[in-house]
Homo-oligomer: A and B are copies of this chain.
């Protein structure tokens, strides 16, 4: 996915963080051990898989099965951990923000490397970052978290991926544009968590 070994490490860190978030969501629904692992896998690979299907690439976890091993390990670790200790909510949300930042920009880069334009790169980046969480919520029979209550999640992904595209168009080198995009996503998301920022909610006044 990326040449530098730091980015490669972050990539695995990203799936691990999303696996933990999926396992915790499953725990709130009283699923069995297998259900927890399945939700963790779906949360971690959902976005990248849809991106790969749409771009006619081999799904990244088929190309490199170590992703699955990482995810299953992270999910089982979570199950054992919460038997003994309360999960650190804020720490996890901040890690999730980093995962969102990394996945969204990586997704946009993959779209670019397929020769697609800026708008599609933003859409693919956003799909990569958020679709796993959407699947997690759909499987738990809930309205997806990213669509509810004005929380700034997909919005952060869209803003950061757009900045990444615009900065490159303006002539900035790719690594700097990527860093700026990731910082924007993580920053917006962390600010939204810390200060409870929301987007305006759109409601039809009359019931129909």
Contact = CB atoms under 8 A, between A and B. Distances in A.
Contacts of A29: 143, 147
A150 to B, nearest CB: 4
Contact of A120 (B62, B79, B89, B143): B62
A80 to B, nearest CB: 10
A58 B203 CA distance: 35
Contacts of A32: 147-151, 198-202
Nearest to A114: B62
A39 interface: yes
Interface stretch (A9-17, A48-56, A163-171): A48-56
Nearest to A138: B138
Given A116-B62, A119-B68, A143 B140 contact: yes
Contact of A208 (B33, B89, B202): B89
Given A34-B158, A38-B147, A158-B34, A204 B82 contact: yes
